[in-house]
Chains A and B, each alone.
Chain A
Amino acid sequence: MLVRLKFKKEGPIRFVGHLDMMRTFQKMFTRAGIPIAYSEGFNPHQIFSFASALAVGVSSESEYMDVKLTEDVAINVLIEAINLKAPEGIFFLDGVEIDNKETSAMASVVAATYRIEVLNSIITEDMLSAMMSQETLIIRKKNKKGKINDFDLRPGIINILLKDKHLIMTIANGSHFNIKPEMVLEKLLALNDLNYVRCDYRFHRVEIYHDHNGLRPLLEVKLGL
């Protein structure tokens, strides 16, 4: 049985990085005693994967993962068992059984929405509209081989707005096209001759989407597509 689970990550645990979250979840599943499937081979490991890595210091109300089980378990029973053993700040909200043929959460992610609290910096509507009216937003970005290339952010910014000192942006995420919220902030500030300082902001991920006739939260899948 393959399930997609949704959880939130809040509080101090937001300072635990992606690789450490993997290890933490492995142990959590073992403690919960759920019938999780293991890979074959010399070094069997639990079969689960996160939809998208969350950077250190970022909280989220909608993280997703796919988990393979060796037997059928009712979703609410599964979630209850996991929540009982989850570390503080991790809470499983919902889940859905998915078909074996369904594209994995990781491979299907196309976008994510972030809410960024502006703690110590000034960002105005005018700054946003000035940025969004540009044809291209070129930044210098290191590729995987370490070479620095020009990279256009503009097509990756799907939506951006300001709401009570919070910047809310929906941007491209995933393996095909990925931009990070701090890239957008950095560019926005650079256009106004300002410097980006990480701790002037608090990042929170609101939602992660795949493309199912438009952007849909990852949990919205139809069985047996």
Chain B
Amino acid sequence: MDKLFLEDRVLLQVEKPARYIGNEVNAIYKNKEEVAIRFALCFPDVYDIGMSHLGLSILYNLLNQRDDLWCERVFSPWVDLDRIMEEENIPLFALESQEPIKTFDFIGITIQYEMCYTNILRILDLAQIPLLSKDRTEDHPLVCAGGPCVYNPEPISDFIDFFYIGEGEVQLDALMDAYKHHRENGGTKKAFLEIAATIEGIYVPSFYNVSYYEDGTIERFVPNHPKAKPQVKKVIMMDMTQSRYPMKPIVPYIQTVHDRVVLELFRGCARGCRFCQAGIIYRPVREKDLEILKEQAIEIVKNTGHDEISLISLSSSDYSQLNALASYLIEAPELAHVNLSLPSLRIDDFSIELMRKVQDVRKSSLTFAPEAGSQRMRDVINKNISEEDILQGAYEAFMGGWNRVKMYFMLGLPTETEEDVLAIPKLGQDIVNKWFTMPGDMRKQRLQIVLSTSFFIPKPFTPFQWMGQASSDTFLEKAKLINKNINKKNIKYNSHDADTSRIEGVLARGDRKLNEVILKVYQKGARYDAWSEHFNVTLWNEAFDELNMDSGFYNERRRELEEILPWDFIDTGVKKSFLYDEFLLAKEGKTTVNCMEGCTNCGAMCFEGGICYARKT
């Protein structure tokens, strides 16, 4: 493809013009005259971030396996190009064909974090497509969305025509088949929504009505269309070994966040940390077979030329074949010049030994995520790691040659006291003390500990979904308390932005009334809210004020069990009663076994596979 949509004049004005030229190795080109469906697959953030996302690569591969469809990529133009496109009225285009997306059949948006909602509106706006679903006509693409955020789709339900709840491998083909058939028979795009609504996992928000009590909570959530299902059940891929994995992922020209081969070990997580949404919505754990992973590693390296392989999952230590896989990847002659990187490991002797084998100790720092400082607090969140584990892990790491340690914590967890907060700097200090128990000749380098806190955000489909989020002021006080008590000699302390956490908390558990707020914030100029240098909380505060709405209703308010939550109509397989039982156990500081140790009957067994059954055989 020699065609570029942007003129040289424009490309020469912007930072990293290679973000906008397509043409990368393994990008897929088709003859647009020969395809029935044009699909713009969109990640609403900058190219460098979006191209690092495995889900996007999986969907791109999946959709393009169809001969009748051309799936192309769209990312948010960076702020420099954004400005030029606005000034010169340049429509947003797809990277492959370098053609405007406003005439495509579909715009499919993957939504990975709430703070990109204004970027979604920006994408539609730059594409010159009406923002509101109801204002779009047959001349416009159908706009659909998927990803973890759509487990509560309500805050953006006015902008999206339909949502896909679950994993793309399962229903995308059926959906596209149905669309093609419908269009060939002369059906309209609007009418296609009625067909989509009947497909499992698909939610068409305009087919439902929501009424509210005076206090703003939901009175009724009911279908207004005969084709609309009262409950929308997520769809997930049960046989991960047979799932279609991208063997020829695109190789970006520019440095992206993850510039390497990514091997997906399994989906789901057995751990059951009570703050973690991913740990619930992706249940049950479904592993990929060791042999297929070995084959895929070799072939993807051959097809991309990457010099690093990364293992990805929610908790890589829990992969039953981790040792065998890591040994193979280290020793395979085909991978002689390929490094292995191992994120998301639990800290124990085994993983320290493994990391020592594969990583350059001098360059890498070791990351621990105890999430909470005190044992009591870790029991509340069901993070089953003891202080002894952490200190012993740190000691092993120091003896292994590491002198840089990063630690992640959350502030504002349910039932948190001052004592729990102070346990964070204390744990940091205990680790410093561990360092000094090492023989002197092991301590030639300077110890560097970085301690980071983020603010706890209750998310839908977690046992904490009923909890109130702490106010920004409370967060800042807690952060200040840590800062005052930290030993600054060896420990560096970072704290996340409280305003961002507040807005994320609002959006995460929002209802349909938030559509108006998001639209207003967007119109006020909000862009790239996920980027601290672009996030402007004033715009959000103004929007709430002007609409006479209270953001605290969404994030700080404590919900009752009886309340209809905006996302209750989605069925993740995990029962609401299980979440509530977990909530009660949390308040008592009682832990729950993980799925490897025993079944807690959460409900995910309804998918008839994965760890729920593997454990039994």
In angstroms, Cα B12 to Cα A202, docked, is 11
Stretch from A26-34, A132-140, A209-217 forming part of the interface with B = A26-34
What string of 1s and 0s marks CB contacts (under 8 Å) between A150-182 and chain B? 000000000000000000000000000000000
CB-CB under 8 A for A87 and B337, given A26-B305, A57-B11: no
B254 and A38 contact, CB distance less than 8 A: no
- Which of B18, B306, B360: most chain A CB closer than 10 A? B18
Contacts of A42 in B (CB 8 A): 360, 362
* A13 proximity list for chain B (CB < 8 A): 21, 23, 253
Tell yes or no: B301 within 8 A of A by CB.
Answer: yes
Let me know if B337 and A16 touch, CB within 8 A: no
Interface: A24 (CB within 8 A): yes
Q: A16 to B9: give the CA distance in the assembly, Å.
A: 15
A28-B303 Cα distance, complex, nearest whole Å = 10
Collect the chain A residues with CB atoms within 8 Å of residue B9's CB: 199
Taken together as a complex, chains A and B put the C-alpha atoms of A31 and B254 apart, in Å, by 18
B1 at the interface (CB under 8 A from A): yes
A20 touches B11 (CB 8 A): no
A176 to B108, CA, bound (A): 53
Q: Which residue of A lies closest to B11 (CB)?
A: A15
Q: Is B577 an interface residue (CB 8 A)?
A: no
CB distance from B401 to the nearest CB of A (A): 13
Alpha-carbon distance between A88 and B26 when the two chains are bound, in angstroms? 10
Contact A30 B305 (CB under 8 A): yes
Query: Contacts A17-B18, A27-B306, A29-B305: A87 and B25 contacting too (C-beta < 8 A)?
Result: yes
Chain B residues near A17 (CB, 8 Å)? 18
- Asked if B22 CB lies within 8 Å of chain A CBs, one says yes
Measured CA separation A72–B162 after assembly (Å): 59
Select A12's contact among B23, B25, B251, B303, beta carbons within 8 Å: B23
Is A146's beta carbon under 8 Å from chain B?
A: no
**Cβ–Cβ < 8 Å partners of A85 in chain B:** 25, 305
B305/A15 in contact, CB under 8 A: no
Nearest Cβ in chain B — how far from A153, in angstroms? 23
B297-326 CB mask vs A (1 if < 8 Å, else 0) is 000011111110000000000000000000
Contact of B1 among A12, A15, A26, A29 (CB under 8 A): A12
Enumerate 12 A-B pairs (CB-CB under 8 Å) in ascending A order.
Answer: A12-B2, A12-B4, A15-B11, A15-B21, A16-B21, A16-B254, A23-B255, A26-B305, A27-B305, A27-B306, A87-B23, A87-B24
Q: Which residues of A contact B (CB under 8 A)?
A: 11-13, 15-17, 20, 23-24, 26-31, 33, 38, 42-44, 56-57, 85, 87-89, 198-199, 202
Of A20, A44, A57, A88, the residue contacting B337 (CB under 8 A) is A44
Set of chain A residues within 8 Å of B1, measured between Cβ atoms: 12, 88
Q: Report the Cα distance A89→B8, complex, angstroms.
A: 16
Residues of B at under 8 Å CB distance from A?
Answer: 1-2, 4, 7-9, 11-13, 17-18, 21-25, 251, 253-255, 259, 301-307, 337, 360, 362
Contacts A11-B23, A23-B255, A42-B362 given; indicate if A31 touches B11 (C-beta within 8 A). Answer: no
Contacts of B24 in A (CB 8 A): 87
List B contacts of A198 (CB < 8 A). 12
B-side contacts of A199, CB under 8 Å: 7-9, 12-13
Query: What's the least CB distance linking A21 to chain B, in Å?
Result: 8
Contact of B253 among A16, A29, A43 (CB under 8 A): A16
In the complex the two chains form, is B12's CB within 8 Å of A27's CB? no
Q: A88 to B255: give the CA distance in the assembly, Å.
A: 18
- Sample of 18 further A-B pairs with CB below 8 A, known A12-B4, A23-B259, A199-B9: A11-B23, A12-B21, A12-B22, A13-B253, A15-B17, A16-B21, A20-B18, A20-B254, A24-B251, A24-B253, A27-B25, A27-B306, A28-B305, A30-B305, A31-B25, A87-B25, A88-B23, A199-B8
Question: Which of A11, A24, A31, A57 makes the CB contact (< 8 A) with B12?
Answer: A57
Do residues A16 and B18 form an inter-chain contact, with CB atoms below 8 A?
yes
Residues of A within 8 A of B306 (CB): 27, 30
CB closest residue in chain A, given B24 = A87
**Nearest chain-B residue to A38 (Cβ)?**
B337
Distance of A79 Cα from B302 Cα, bound (Å) = 18
Q: In the bound complex, how far is the Cα of B587 from the Cα of A195, in angstroms?
A: 71
Residue numbers in B under 8 Å from A11 (CB-CB): 2, 23
Distance of A89 Cα from B23 Cα, bound (Å): 9
Q: Which residues of A contact B304 (CB under 8 A)?
A: 27, 31
Interchain nearest-CB distance for B324 vs A (Å): 25
Question: Which A residues are in CB contact (< 8 Å) with B303?
Answer: 31
Q: Contact check, B251 vs A27: say whether CB atoms are below 8 A apart.
A: yes
Q: Which 9 A-B pairs give the minimum distances between C-beta atoms?
A: A27-B305, A30-B305, A199-B9, A31-B305, A12-B21, A15-B17, A16-B253, A16-B18, A12-B23
Output the nearest chain B residue to A19 by Cβ-Cβ distance: B255
Give Cα distance in the complex from A202 to B254, angstroms: 22
A28 CA to B26 CA in the complex, in Å?
12
Min CB distance A47 to B, Å, is 12
In the assembly, what is the distance between CA of A24 and CA of B302, in Å?
14
A204 to chain B, nearest CB (A): 12
Minimum CB–CB distance from B304 to chain A (whole Å) comes to 6
Contacts of B21 in A (CB 8 A): 12-13, 15-16
Instruction: State A193–B304 Cα separation when bound (angstroms).
Output: 50
- Inter-chain CA distance A23–B306, complex, in Å, is 9
Contact of B17 among A28, A56, A88 (CB under 8 A): A56
Which residue of chain B lies nearest to A33 when distances are taken between CB atoms in the complex? B302
Which residues of B are found within 8 Å of A89, using beta-carbon distances? 23
| Cβ-defined contact, B302 with A31, below 8 A | yes
Given contacts A31-B304, A88-B1, A199-B12, contact A15 B362 (CB under 8 A): no
Could you tell me the distance between the alpha carbons of A18 and B255 in the complex, rounded to whole angstroms?
12
CA distance A27 to B301 in the complex (A): 9
Chain B residues closer than 8 Å to A15, beta-carbon distance: 11, 17-18, 21
Contact B301 A202 (CB under 8 A): no
Which residues of chain B are within 8 angstroms of A31 by Cβ–Cβ distance? Answer: 25, 302-305
Report the minimum CB–CB distance from B350 to chain A (whole Å). 24
Q: How many angstroms between the C-alpha atoms of A33 and B333 in the bound complex? A: 13
Q: Is the CB of A30 within 8 A of B337?
A: yes
Q: Please, how many angstroms separate the alpha-carbon atoms of A22 and B187 in the complex?
A: 50
> Whole-angstrom distance between the alpha carbons of A43 and B364 in the complex?
13
Residues on the A chain within 8 Å of B251, using CB: 24, 27, 87
Q: Which residues of A contact B2 (CB under 8 A)?
A: 11-12
Q: Which residues on the A side are within 8 Å of B301 (C-beta)?
A: 30
The complex places the Cα of A16 from the Cα of B18 at a distance, in Å, of 5
**How far apart sit A15 and B5, CA to CA, in the bound complex (Å)?**
13
Q: How many Å from the CB of A192 to the closest CB on chain B?
A: 22
A26–B25 alpha-carbon span in the complex (Å): 13
Contacts of A20 in B (CB 8 A): 18, 253-255
Q: Which residues of A contact B254 (CB under 8 A)?
A: 16, 20
List, in ascending order, chain A residues with CB within 8 A of B11's CB. Answer: 15, 57
Question: B255 contacts which chain A residues (CB < 8 A)?
Answer: 20, 23
| Nearest B residue to A24, CB-CB | B253
Contact of A30 among B18, B22, B307 (CB under 8 A): B307
Residues on B with C-beta less than 8 A from A28 are: 25, 305
In Å, the complex CA distance between A101 and B239 comes to: 58
